[in-house]
Amino acid sequence: MIETNQAPDENQSIRQRRMAVLARADSAAIARCWTALGIDPTFTMLRGPETGLVTLRGRVGGGGSPFNFGEATVTRATVRLESGAIGHSWALGRDQDKARLAAIIDALAQDTEMAGRIDEAVIRPLASAQDTDDRSRVAETAATRVDFFTMVRGED
Amino acid sequence: MYVAVKGGEAAIDNAHRLLADRRRGDRAVPALTLEQIAGQLALAVDRVMAEGSLYDRELAALAVKQSRGDLIEAVFLARAYRTTLPRFGYSRPLDTAAMLVERRISACYKDLPGGQLLGPTFDYTHRLLDPRLAGDVSIEEPARRETSDASMMRVSEILAQEGLIEADGAIDQARGVGDITRAPAEFPMNRDSRLQALSRGDEGFLLALAYSTQRGYARSHPFAGEIRIGEVEVEIEVPELGFSVSLGRIQVTECQMVNQFAGSAKAPPQFTRGYGLVFGQSERKAMAMALVDRALRAAEFGEDVVAPAQDEEFVIAHCDNVQATGFVEHLKMPHYVDFQAELDLVRRMRAEHAGSTAPHEQQPREAAE
């Protein structure tokens, strides 16, 4: 599946992380980083980009048995590069350009040397922007935290 | 004799053209953008996503625009769109404990780990119209406060430590997870299918039922154990990869309602629970859902079913506003032939009635004549 000399588990978690960052990023942000990388590989679309539904599941009481909660639009794509590497992308929403580009990036990143360049130029800046965004939202929410105090009632 | 009648084609075309005109309104006023609707009417958009059972902010915003703000019409549009798409699969169950929390409150514990986080709430506003909002006033940036990333324990976990509350809820799913979009509703229904129906149920209907339980129709003495709003990650197992991938995040509102239960011969007294989970920021709906979920568990706890909110078939069969509006609104479609038949019947019955009563009695004339 993944032909590099790293341990398969480690490769898998790196790939999951990469795909998660791409799924969360918007099309324009990915395209900016991608353009900076200056690569234009030849690829064949094996599937899609196609938009469909994924049924989202929750858990009863938050941690109990699963239940079907509602649906979300999801777009996926699969590409093959000339090298034979296959890349996939899956993300919420209906952005097909993003799906295609994310699948190409996933395919390219299966080459160890290329993975380093991609992580440097695409994944790291996107992840860093996402982390900043999260931290800022956490800080904004934290400012609305209630600090209770007790009134002294004067009963000595 | 049945005579098919056609007509109205030009009238319908012109009516739709008029609708488009009225929807657009004064051309001197700029048209609303989807970004404006999604950004500034965000809770209307959330409601359309929740009741349309389709998480897609942009589509929900389009539905709000197309429906001129008629949210049930917008929900209908979202549901209709859903049916045009193939289904790729089921996500892994969302982990709401790992939520990036934007609001989290508990009415049970004042000092709980993670604290009371008010977030962007209408609570504690004075509900006075703000004339400044009529214009484009500049709004200050939100305040910030540095925080150590404390994990936010669920209130149910705190109570569970003492065994004072029932567990999250296990359902016999030998035949898979219930899916009301795939199988016709059958009663009695499992709690998983009920939760699916409630999550997309009409907010107004569920709110009224929830209110009825508080007013004494199936009294269950609830506390808002916890309400949390925030983003959760969606993951799906991808067969071609052999592992799960993240699809991004969605915003949900979760409500854990804590209810009293006296216990029985078999079970010691323990708090019971109702659960609400809704797309977007939909606190009222999540609370109503949790109250109704608990009321519908009457049989499970051996409670007498005495009120509408406890009647599973009544609640589930009527909570869907697309079904409800379809049947109510179909009454305005032409029923000319049906009505002719009824008119004929009433005339005949009246004639028979007149024949059977004393001949000297004057019959009132039919209003239509």
- Residue B78 CB neighbour total at 10 angstroms: 26
The answer to whether position A148 is within a domain reads: no
Map residue B238 onto helix, strand or coil: strand
How far apart are alpha carbons A56 and B232 in whole angstroms? 11
How far apart are alpha carbons B339 and B105 in whole angstroms? 55
User: What's the pLDDT tens digit per position in B247-289?
Assistant: 999 999 999 999 987 677 677 888 899 999 999 999 999 999 9
- Residue A143 CB neighbour total at 10 angstroms: 15
Tell me chain B's radius of gyration from C-alpha atoms: 26
Evaluate whether B65 touches B39 at the Cβ level (below 8 Å).
no
User: What is residue B172's predicted lDDT score, i.e. its pLDDT?
Assistant: 83
- Model confidence band, residue A135 (pLDDT cutoffs 50, 70, 90): very high
- Copy the structure tokens of residue B93: 């169950």
- Say how many domains are in chain A: 1
Establish whether this prediction's ipTM goes over 0.95: no
Range of the domain at A26: 8-137
Nearest CA in chain B to A25: B248
Distance in Å, alpha carbon of B296 to nearest chain A alpha carbon: 14
The answer to whether position A79 is within a domain reads: yes
User: What is residue B2's predicted lDDT score, i.e. its pLDDT?
Assistant: 61
Determine, for residues A140 and B143 on separate chains, whether the beta-carbon distance falls below 8 Å. yes
Distance in Å, alpha carbon of B95 to nearest chain A alpha carbon: 7
The answer to whether position A102 is within a domain reads: yes
List the single residue in B93, B101, B120 with the smallest CB-CB distance to A59.
B93
Sequence-distant (6+) residues with CB within 8 A of B286 are B227, B253, B254, B255, B276, B277, B278
How far apart are alpha carbons B212 and B296 in whole angstroms? 13
Cβ burial, residue B360 (10 Å; 0-12/13-18/19+): exposed
The answer to whether position A82 is within a domain reads: yes
User: What is residue B1's predicted lDDT score, i.e. its pLDDT?
Assistant: 59
Lowest-pLDDT range of A19-28, A147-156, B337-346? A147-156
- Copy the structure tokens of residue B345: 């019947």
The answer to whether position A87 is within a domain reads: yes
Inter-chain CB pairs, A–B, below 8 Å? 229
Report DSSP state, residue B165: B
Evaluate whether B279 touches B291 at the Cβ level (below 8 Å).
no
| CB contact residues (below 8 A), chain B span 254-313, against chain A | 254, 256, 273, 275, 277, 279
Q: Is the peptide bond before B30 cis (omega within 30 degrees of 0)?
A: no
Distance in Å, alpha carbon of A63 to nearest chain B alpha carbon: 6
**Residues forming a β-bridge with B256:** B226, B275
Cα A47 from chain centre: 19
| pTM to 2 decimal places | 0.91
Single out the residue of B11, B60, B27 nearest to residue B282, CA to CA: B60
How far apart are alpha carbons B83 and B90 in whole angstroms? 16
List the single residue in A61, A64, A144 with the smallest CB-CB distance to B118.
A144
Determine, for residues A71 and B82 on separate chains, whether the beta-carbon distance falls below 8 Å. yes
B50 in A contact zone (CB under 8 Å) = yes
CA distances from A43 to A99, A118, B51, B158 (A): 14, 17, 40, 53
CA distances from A28 to A98, A128, B362 (A): 8, 16, 83
The answer to whether position A1 is within a domain reads: no
**Residues forming a β-bridge with B237:** B244
Higher per-residue pLDDT: B27 or A41: B27
Sequence-distant (6+) residues with CB within 8 A of B190 are B171, B172, B173, B178
Sequence-distant (6+) residues with CB within 8 A of B343 are none
Q: Work out the angle between the directed axes of helices A96-108 and A8-24 (0-180°, nearest 10).
A: 160
Q: What string of pLDDT tens digits covers the 369 residues of chain B?
A: 566 667 789 999 999 999 999 999 999 999 999 999 999 999 999 999 999 999 999 999 999 999 999 999 999 999 999 999 999 999 999 999 999 999 999 998 888 888 899 999 999 999 999 999 999 989 999 999 988 766 777 888 877 777 888 888 888 877 789 999 988 888 999 999 999 999 999 999 999 999 999 999 987 789 999 999 999 999 999 988 899 999 999 999 999 999 987 677 677 888 899 999 999 999 999 999 999 999 999 988 888 899 999 999 999 999 999 999 999 999 998 888 888 999 999 999 999 999 887 655 555 555 443
